[in-house]
Amino acid sequence: MQMHQTVGGDVLLDVRDLQTHFYGEDSVTRALGGISFQVKKGETLGVVGESGCGKSVTALSILRLLPRLTAKTVGGQVRFHGRNLLELSDREMRQIRGDQIAMIFQEPMTSLNPVYTVGHQIAEVIQIHTKASRSVAMARAGEMLRLVRIADPERRVNNYPHEISGGMRQRAMIAMALACSPELLIADEPTTALDVTIQAQILRLIVDLKERTGTAVMFITHDLGVVAETCQRVIVMYAGRIVEQATVIDLFARPAHPYTQGLLRSVPDRRRARHRRLPEIPGIVPSLREPITGCSFAPRCPFATDICREKTPSLRDVGSSHATACWRAEEVMGA
Amino acid sequence: MVGLMSAAFAALGGLLIGIIAGYNRPFDNIVMRVMDGLMSIPTILLAIALISLTGPGIGILIVAIAIPETPAVARLVRSVVLGVRERPYVEAALCGGARLPKVIWRHILPSTIPPLMVQSATVCASAILTEAGLSFLGVGVPPEIPSWGNMIASSRLYLAIAPLTIFAPGICLAVTVLAVNLLGDGLRDLFDPHAKRRR
Amino acid sequence: MSGPLLKVENLTKHYPLGSGIFKKTIPVIRAVEDVSFSVEAGETLCIVGESGCGKSTVARLLMRLVEPTGGRVLIDGTDIAGLKKDALHAWRRRMQMVFQDPYSSLNPRLTAGQIITEPVENFERLGRRQRQALAADLLRNVGMSPEMMHRLPSELSGGQRQRVGIARALALRPSLIIADEAVSALDVSVQAQILNLLLDLQQQMGISFVFISHDLGVVEYIGRRVAVMYLGRIVELAQCEALFAKPVHPYTEALIAAAPVPDPTRARLATPVEGEVPSPINPPTGCAFHPRCPLAVERCRIDVPPLVPMADGRVVACHVRAPAGDARHLAPVTGDHPLYPVAMSDTLSIRASRVHR
Ligand SMILES: Nc1ncnc2c1ncn2[C@@H]1O[C@H](COP(=O)(O)OP(=O)(O)OP(=O)(O)O)[C@@H](O)[C@H]1O
Ligand SMILES: Nc1ncnc2c1ncn2[C@@H]1O[C@H](COP(=O)(O)OP(=O)(O)OP(=O)(O)O)[C@@H](O)[C@H]1O
Ligand code: SF4
Ligand SMILES: [Mg+2]
Ligand SMILES: [Mg+2]
């Protein structure tokens, strides 16, 4: 079992030992191999890791939006206000989605309905959750668009998604997500598809809105730079597990897991001498189809010893609010 | 037999036209309009017209059936070619110094084969039907050569006395067409992993 | 050798929007507009810019996968834009390309060995043994084991596929490799592997690179000189260190300020540049950046700024920062205040204080 910090009053979301599997024709993908973490009120929690490590599946499992036919959350709990979301009825879950927990997806085009105007879609969300009248909801939709700094919101409410730019679509998505002032916003790579200058605008917007409304944000990204600039706490995922959890400052200053360390070092950084070899992580990510014995990072890990290959490490504290799943964390931090 | 040959001819013709059309804009514009024209004429009428121009014979029959089936194949191949020629790996081959015929042979042709096979099966099935229809009408296979269409046509007169003589070839015909269609489905599943997974 | 390996002069590409049988004037996408640069032997030139600014189009023009609307591409002084088919075929040996997407740029039906030896077979006949030896050699060059030559692309990881793509580009021993977003689709840890590989190959074989990317971190790591593109034009071209230390063009400055820095202690959310990248179908008049530029003056709305050389050898196209005429004597100053001041946002300062307590 993994360790839990005491559940204080300020914990908003408490995920315990969440396990999600995908079922293929003749294989099982263990996309989440038992992850535990908490999101506190009003904080920004970053979730980083490489492609396929289970970041999106984590978000979808929490919101119960996994494809019904192929995926199943086979174990664990998702506690939100003391209730286990995994046990709620579909109707109760719909109430929570959008009202208390909202999500922004990576590709805004696919999550906005192309046949309705932007304003209509935002108003609909508002109507579902507040029972406001149509005109009130539309007016509020206009306000939301202004809040996310879309110029000329009166005109934009009547635009269809394809008539506005990618950056504006992502803003519209944010407006929709925030329309009912949720307590938790899950943003899955909200800026990955955007240009850097537009990304900077959106990040700034999310941080500003968060400060104003006190919404907690779970920020999923693979970009360490984005994490450094927006988050307070970070969890690092590798092959369907959490390998490290720390404040952002600690994580960058004293990474305790060899994977985190490798990840941080392999980012090209202007402060290192140029044209020197980048430290790389050798090898490739393991397949989640086969069960993994021992530490999933062991085949690529420069610190690996026999125990790493035999026993799976669980998260343990290596400092105040700093935990890692590595047998040799002390040596890693010393290195 | 006639069905198979017609399908082969239609597939070859369609493949050639489709590939050239996929690579040559002016040719594409002209030929595809012609193909549209051909497609809008009912198969049987076109075949009857062709045969009445030259007189009956197996060879002309095959051609007469193949021609109206060609446009569908050509369209299919062209669309595949247009899709594949934009693929980065085709551009990569060009960058590597490959000449156009080689690129087509090595990178484009293989992608057109699976859909072509599937389409050919369909064409084959419909060619068998067309042949039977034409023979029934008396403009198909010369009466001295046995074919199901001919059999049905000649048994028509004895329907009251010996109904089996008309049903037997009819059923054979239906079973064959069904079999060829199923073959086409099977080929599609074989070549298209997505279709397979959906089942 | 005298003169640069690759010289590009006034390269322009307009894509027509639809065919114009019924219209008198066909609207065009101005994908690349009057682009000039040169690459020395053994050098790496980077091209950066945001999506749709014409980076890939430049690469495709260099490889002559598309025909230019205007301008010249000279390799060792020979204009390849004017070459006939056969001569072009021969010139292909000098330049090779590595593609962005390691998935779609390899034919899924061929094995890795077939893919990487194909370019050579376009020029000479190879026996079976020769082909295998060559494939093994090339694979070793890119740090893969020779057994991999029998694998299909679907049996390789993303990083391995990109290595196969690089091996294919190396097969003809080119003097120039054009890498269009060659690491963008890869995870950071794999990206580091590929960047190291490219640098090693450059050192061993003296290959020149035109390295196209939208990631400033990568560019800063691998580039010697950097060209910044905005809406089809080069707006600044400078030595890598100089560009990052002191961006002169307001867009370069915006781009650098917007790139997230992976260091929370220096965490700063710069006030980002306003507005969106305009459409290349209907670009703004004058300087294409003027609707977003905090420095824009009247003239920016009217005249297209020319590329003006500055004292440290860079060229910049900006009426305010590099006024034409006397700019040769101008030191590259960026003004007293940065255009995009770095502000500690509240959460960030809270976070910082929490840690320093
Ligand atoms: N619909 C699905 N069917 C089968 N397997 C899936 C499905 N969705 C995800 N997976 C598997 O689950 C694992 C985790 O996927 P997930 O989408 O969470 O990755 P991610 O961390 O979000 O990656 P990325 O950064 O690429 O978005 C992957 O190995 C993936 O193959
Ligand atoms: N074949 C084409 N036909 C028409 N327009 C095109 C074509 N290829 C590119 N364009 C247009 O030319 C412009 C420049 O495209 P290009 O692909 O060169 O951009 P890029 O800088 O590579 O962008 P990205 O970073 O997204 O790859 C874009 O507006 C694009 O829509
Ligand atoms: S020319 Fe003018 S508008 Fe363009 S970047 Fe320079 S200052 Fe801004
Ligand atoms: Mg994801
Ligand atoms: Mg591109």
pLDDT in tens, C168-190: 999 998 999 999 988 887 888 88
pLDDT tens digit sequence for C63-105: 888 888 988 888 888 887 777 777 777 788 888 999 888 888 8
Split at pLDDT 50, 70, 90, the class of A234 is very high
The residue range of the domain holding A151 is: 110-181
Q: Which of A29, A32, A34, A90 is nearest to A313 (CA)?
A: A34
- A317 to chain C, any CB pair closer than 8 A? The answer is no
| Ligand 2 atom at shortest distance from the alpha carbon of C100 | 27
The residue range of the domain holding C51 is: 6-76+175-354
pLDDT tens digit sequence for B106-142: 888 888 888 888 888 888 888 888 877 877 777 767 7
- Whether residue C248 is predicted with pLDDT greater than 60 in this model: the reply is yes
Whether residue A301 lies inside any domain: the answer is no
Average of per-residue pLDDT values in chain C: 83
C-alpha torsion sign, points B98, C84, C88, C132: positive
Which residue among A200, A279, A282 places its CB closest to the CB of C272? Answer: A200
- Whether residue A87 is predicted with pLDDT greater than 60 in this model: the reply is yes
Average of per-residue pLDDT across C329-353? 53
Please work out, in degrees rounded to the nearest 5, the angle formed at the alpha carbon of residue C7 by the alpha carbons of C50 and C3. Answer: 140
Which residue among B91, B99, B111 places its CB closest to the CB of C65? Answer: B91
Average of per-residue pLDDT values in chain A: 87
Q: With an 8 Å Cβ cutoff, are A252 and C263 in contact? A: yes
Best probe residue, ligand 2, of C19, C26, C48, C56 (max atoms within 8 Å of C-beta): C56
Q: With an 8 Å Cβ cutoff, are A230 and C191 in contact? A: no
Please count the CA atoms within 13 angstroms of the CA of C305 that sit on its side-chain side.
31
Kindly state the percentage of chain B with pLDDT values over 90. 0
Tally of domains in chain B: 1
The domain that holds B187 is classified in CATH as 1.10.3720.10
- Of A130-134, A201-205, B10-14, B188-192, the range with the lowest mean pLDDT is B188-192
Interface ipTM: 0.82
Cβ–ligand 2 distance for C51 under 6 Å, the answer yes
Name every chain C residue with its beta carbon within 8 A of the beta carbon of A207.
Answer: 269, 345, 347
Q: How far is A223 from chain C (nearest CA, A)?
A: 8
Output A243 or C354, whichever has higher pLDDT.
A243
Whether residue A171 lies inside any domain: the answer is yes
pLDDT at A18: 95
Whether residue A11 lies inside any domain: the answer is no
Average of per-residue pLDDT across A16-26? 90
- C171 to chain B, any CB pair closer than 8 A? The answer is yes
Query: Alpha-carbon distance B88 to B86, whole Å?
Result: 6
- Pairing label, strands C315-316, C308-309: antiparallel
pLDDT at A5: 44
Which residue among A211, A249, A280 places its CB closest to the CB of C346? Answer: A211
| Ligand 2 atom 7, closest CA | C15
pLDDT tens digit sequence for C21-46: 555 667 788 889 999 999 998 899 99
pLDDT at C338: 63
Tally of domains in chain C: 1
Q: With an 8 Å Cβ cutoff, are A284 and C159 in contact? A: yes
Q: How far is C291 from chain A (nearest CA, A)?
A: 14
- Whether residue C210 is predicted with pLDDT greater than 90 in this model: the reply is yes
pTM beyond 0.90: the answer is no
Whether residue C270 lies inside any domain: the answer is yes
Name every chain B residue with its beta carbon within 8 A of the beta carbon of C118.
Answer: 93, 96, 98, 106
**What is the CA(C182)–ligand 1 centre distance, in A?**
23
Kindly state the percentage of chain C with pLDDT values over 70. 86
- Whether residue A272 is predicted with pLDDT greater than 70 in this model: the reply is no
Cβ–ligand 1 distance for A31 under 6 Å, the answer yes
Whether residue C163 lies inside any domain: the answer is no
The residue range of the domain holding B32 is: 2-198
Environment of ion ligand 4 (residues, CB < 5 A): A 56
Whether residue A132 lies inside any domain: the answer is yes
Average of per-residue pLDDT across A183-208? 86
Average of per-residue pLDDT across B57-80? 83
